[in-house]
Amino acid sequence: MKAYTRLLGIVAVAAIAILGPAATASAHEERPTRELEGTGSVPVYRTTGPTLLVCKSDPADFATRIAGFPADLKAANEQLWQQCQQGGHRHIQQAVDAAHLPGTIIKILPGVYLEEPSIAPASPECAAMENGAVRGKIYGYPVLTWDQQLACPHLANLIAILGKKNLQLEGTGASPMDVLVDAQYKKLNAIRADNADGVYFRNMSAQRAQFNAFYVMETDGFVLDRTIGRWNDEYAFLTFAVDHGLYTDCEGYGNGDSAFYPGAASNINKDRGHDVPRYAVEIQRCYGHHNTLGYSGTAGDSVWVHDSVFTENTAGIATDSAFPDHPGMPQNHSKFERNIIANNNVDYYKHIVDGTCKKPFEQRGYEQGVVCPAVGLPVGAGVVNPGGNYNIWRDNHIYDNRYSGFVTSFVPGFVRNDTEFAQQFDTSHHNRYIDNVMGVSEKGEAKPNGINFWWDGQGVGSCWTDMSATNIRTVPACGDDELPALGTHRYLGEPAGTLKMYACAGYDGGRQHLPSDCDWYGAYAAHGLERIEVKWALGGAVVLGLLAIGLYYRRLRDSKRALIGLLLAVGGLVVGVFGTIEMGSVLHPVGLAFYGAGLTLLGLALRGTSARKLGVMTLLVAVFALLGAIDHGLLMIPWIPVSPALLRVLMEIVWIPWALGAVLAAPRTATAADPATDPAAPAAPEPAAA
């Protein structure tokens, strides 16, 4: 069996590779990172310590900004402003550069910080460095080394916190928007904290960066507390190669990829089961809305997301293993619980099609609600999880997502540049979907998803509790111990599901290309017979049906058994096409059952002719069709490495030319007698197997 599974795997992966890899999910390109030791801790907010002040110098503007503050807060800010005018800084970067004492606190008074010195033309040395730097393959921006960042910190960053430890930056206003860092689309990052263990951001906002508002990298210990990121081409908050991190009470909106991206977090639980001692990053009480994604995380390992809200995005959450060369692949061990993932139906792909997203950043209209999707996703998906392992989804309210509550699939290793054979099948295993409230709001209102769960059928050891309205009707149940009752042991996805994911991944925003046969893309989505899986189902049904008719008329015309089989098989094929059109419909397993029963009768009839070997092959196709009906209609069959559907398709590939030969080679004047009524009837010679 292992050898057979390996052979099937080689065939399947080779087929995908020959087609060419579809466009990968967007992420970001960065220098190689070091593995953190994990000896840090989540920093604690401090009220005392060495303090630096940052403010602007216009008293009238400052007075206007604090006029509505509560009396105590207004008085405190007035006092700080007087002190800042005497000995403070006018730019945040100046204060960062002046912070030399451990545990320094930088208090930033209300105002808009454009950081004019940081956007001055680069020195000749830095300009030469930028021109000679390695550039990313996707976006084309310079990917600077650590030494290059230190030498020229403002090539990519408006504010650069490089190598500073235990620095705390906090706004002194009444809300995060009172202190606003505005990159004006002149820098890749508004704020970058790199190798900045213990950094703490509080009560401030950043906006209009070419990539990220807040970027924390290669840092052990950070907090993003009451912060807002908006109107960035990619991310509001991006943390990468980090440990001991906390996002709390944050908000992100108007971002082309996502509000929150804890990508490549420390892979501290990679060798464990579900019993994890801690998580590398925690996200709590955050709000991601009006982005392409509320949350995304390529290799978002060991992230705990809870009590947060992801609404009114294109899709709510995505965590994946679909981008090459990220540390920590495949994605694993994240937990999402008690979140609201709802009404993620906003279609931003119109801005790709009409050319808005080809304009310069500042002309696109991000401030007026334009979002330029960096990734191709189903409009109306609550959760998208291609290629995750050991994830837990528990007690979330997931509703009013018009495509599906969940979309999950496997990701073969070559997509992420992993080439070993075993890595082609190492994703989408041991995930738990426990007690999620599907299609009902937190207020008890009925707000159904399009379907609750779309799955390509691949994975080992995953299970679900109380999950109805799924594309595969027989998702395996979890027992009372939250372990799989029977579970699955599939290393390849369903053929139709894999084909669909491959086609839909062909999105390319830069070329303004949306796949025409995919049903993901809102106003541009394929419908009915336009969908790739329906096209293939219809095409296959036509070919198989015509061959069955041909076999009957050329070889089995006198057999009543064959006539009944023909009617059942053709009827099953028709019903199956309608079942493919309507995701999750009972018509799909019913169609397979009719098709399998019909082929059984045709195969038995052929066994009584000179085409007896073709009859055996027909019976084999019938067996796998009937197993598929059980697999999709009654119980997902455990302990088999691939689905009956894949085996049936492989059998049909052999059967089609064989049956065609039998149709063409049959004598035009002869008909095959039913052996049940005329066992002595002569038969035409059987053609060789194709």
Q: Which residues contact 565 (CB under 8 A, 6 or more apart)?
A: 597, 598, 599, 600, 601, 602, 603, 604, 605
Residue 182, classed as helix, strand or coil, is strand
pLDDT tens by residue, 69-84: 999 999 999 999 999 9
Assign 27 a pLDDT band (cuts: 50, 70, 90). low
Residue in this structure with the two tokens 């995304």, named with its chain if needed = 296
Which whole number is the average pLDDT over 29-41? 92
Is the pLDDT at 21 greater than 50? The verdict is: no
Q: Are residues 164 and 219 in the same domain?
A: yes
Q: Who wins on pLDDT, 418 or 42?
A: 42
pLDDT band at 667 (very low <50, low <70, confident <90, very high): low
Task: Work out the number of other CB atoms within 10 angstroms of the CB of residue 48.
Answer: 7
3-class DSSP state for residue 537?
A: helix
pLDDT band at 1; cut points 50, 70, 90: very low
Q: Do 456 and 604 belong together in one domain?
A: no
* Segment 291-336, tens digit of pLDDT: 999 999 999 999 999 999 999 999 999 999 988 878 899 999 999 9
As given in the structure block, the two tokens for residue 272 are 């464990």
pLDDT at 678: 44
State the alpha helices, DSSP H only, in 55-109: 59-66, 71-87, 92-98
Give residue 554's domain range: 528-665
Same domain, 245 and 358: yes
Do the strands 309-311 and 397-399 form a parallel or antiparallel pair, or are they unpaired?
A: unpaired
Cα 73 from Cα 452, distance rounded (Å): 48
Instruction: Please give the pLDDT value at position 666.
Output: 72
**405 within some domain:** yes
Contacts of 510 (CB under 8 A, 6+ apart): none
DSSP code string of 328-382: TPSPB--EEES-EEE------THHHHTSGGGS-GGGS-GGGT----SS---TTEE
In which residue are the tokens 């559907």 written? Answer: 645
Tens-place pLDDT, residues 344-385: 999 999 999 999 999 999 999 999 999 999 999 999 999 999
- Asked if residue 520 is part of any domain, the answer here is no
The answer to whether residue 253 sits within a structural domain is yes
- Of 519 and 670, the structure prediction assigns the larger pLDDT to 519
Q: 367 with 439, same domain?
A: yes
| Together in a domain, 476 and 587 | no
Least confident of 181-190, 261-270, 669-678: 669-678
Residue pLDDT, tens place only, 589-645: 999 999 999 999 999 999 999 999 999 999 999 999 999 999 999 999 999 999 999
Backbone angles phi, psi at 113, to 5 degrees: -110, 105
Span 218-225, average pLDDT = 98
Cα angle vertex 13, ends 10, 19, to 5°? 130
pLDDT at 13 exceeding the cut of 60: no
Domain-located, residue 112: no
- Asked if the structure places residue 670 within a domain, the reply is no
DSSP string, 21-53: PPPPPP-------PPP----------SSSSEEE
* 515, part of any domain: no
494 and 584 housed in the same domain: no
Whether the per-residue pLDDT at 507 is higher than 90: the answer is yes
Judgement on whether residues 383 and 332 belong to the same structural domain of the protein: yes
Picking from 612, 596, 598, 590, the residue whose alpha carbon sits closest to that of residue 563 is: 598
The per-residue DSSP string of 245-284 comes to: EEEES-EEES-SSEEEEEET---TTTT--S--S--SEEEE
User: Is residue 382 domain-shared with residue 420, that is, in the same domain?
Assistant: yes
Contact 354, 298 (CB under 8 A): no
Which residues pair with residue 283 across a beta bridge? 247, 305
Tell me if the pTM is above 0.75. Answer: yes
Winning range, highest mean pLDDT, from 24-38, 176-190, 489-503: 176-190
Q: Give the residue with greater pLDDT, 10 vs 288.
A: 288
Q: What is the dihedral of CA 550, 555, 560, 565, to 10 degrees?
A: -40
Residue 408 lies in a domain: yes
pLDDT > 60? residue 679: no
686 pLDDT exceeds 80?
no
Confidence of residue 10 (pLDDT cuts 50, 70, 90): very low
Residue 488's pLDDT is 82
If asked whether residues 338 and 448 sit together in one domain, one would say: yes
Residue among 260, 392, 423, 248 at smallest CA distance from 330? 423
- Using left for φ > 0, alpha for ψ between -120 and 50, and beta otherwise, residue 397 falls in beta
Instruction: For residue range 233-266, list pLDDT tens digits in order.
Output: 999 999 999 999 999 999 999 999 999 999 999 9
Among 588, 534, 449, which Cα is nearest to 526's? 534
Domain count, the chain: 2
The 10s digit of each residue's pLDDT in 401-435 is 999 999 999 999 998 888 899 999 999 999 999 99
Domain assignment present for residue 509? The answer is no
Residues 493, 541 share a domain? no
- Same domain (yes/no): 159, 194: yes
Residue 11 has pLDDT above 90, yes or no: no
The reply to whether 207 and 317 lie within a common domain is yes
Evaluate the omega torsion of the peptide bond into residue 21 and state whether it is cis, within 30 degrees of 0: no
